[in-house]
């Protein structure tokens, strides 16, 4: 069976998906609720108009996939990787991302609102104009990302190091900036946003 058939079967019978490998497949219009997807690989797959709610992902790899505009609400991701994926306009709202890696992903206008990141990392990702509002990012490893215009309002970003990333025009809560690492230029920009006058 191809990916569409397996996803339809999972949708209709609430069957879990385990130890599967998919390449160059497309799935469209699938709505999954409460199933498990474990130890599976998705390579260059495309997801269209899909909605996943309370789906549990463990040891799942997404490589070169197009996940644009997909809705993943209140899902759990453990030991998952997203490499060179398109996540433009995608929503991971209120999901748990534990020991997950996002690398070289493109995802402007995506939403990680109220997500919880644990022992996860974002590297070389373009996420401009995305929302991390009320997310828990404390200690998340960040390197060479584009967060320009992002909304971090209400997010817990303590211990995060933004110094190698672009945060031009990003919005932060004043109380959340404690223990955050930024470079000199970023510090000047943040000071201006806070209304401080640098002389």
Question: Which residue, 188, 156, 196, is CA-closest to 172?
Answer: 156
pLDDT in tens, 46-63: 999 999 999 999 999 999
pLDDT tens-digit map of 76-127: 999 999 999 999 999 999 999 999 999 999 999 999 999 999 999 999 999 9
User: Dihedrals φ, ψ of 39, to 5°?
Assistant: 50, 50
Torsions phi, psi for 143 (to 5 deg): -150, 125
What is the C-alpha separation between 111 and 121, in angstroms, rounded?
16
CB 156 within 8 A of CB 178: no
Q: Are strands 151-152 and 171-172 parallel, antiparallel or unpaired?
A: parallel
Query: In 3D, which of 31, 29, 22 has the Cα closest to residue 2?
Result: 22
Dist. CA 48–CA 91, nearest whole Å? 13
């Amino acid at each position: 069976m191809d990916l569409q058939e397996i996803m339809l079967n999972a949708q209709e019978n609430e069957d879990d998906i385990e130890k599967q490998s998919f390449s160059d497949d497309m799935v469209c219009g699938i709505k999954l609720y409460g199933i498990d997807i474990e130890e599976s690989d998705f390579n260059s797959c495309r997801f269209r108009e899909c909605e996943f709610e309370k789906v549990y992902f463990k040891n799942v790899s997404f490589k070169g996939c197009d996940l644009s505009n997909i809705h993943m609400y209140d899902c759990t991701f453990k030991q998952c990787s997203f490499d060179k994926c398109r996540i433009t306009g995608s929503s991971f709202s209120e999901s748990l991302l534990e020991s997950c890696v996002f690398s070289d992903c493109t995802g402007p206008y995506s939403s990680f609102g109220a997500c919880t990141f644990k022992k996860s990392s974002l590297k070389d990702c373009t996420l401009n104009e995305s929302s991390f509002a009320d997310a828990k990012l404390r200690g998340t490893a960040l390197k060479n990302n584009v967060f320009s215009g992002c909304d971090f309002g209400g997010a817990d970003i303590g211990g995060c190091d933004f110094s190698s990333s672009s945060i031009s025009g990003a919005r932060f809560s004043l109380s959340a900036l404690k223990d955050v690492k930024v470079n000199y230029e970023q510090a000047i920009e943040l000071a201006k946003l806070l209304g401080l006058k640098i002389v």
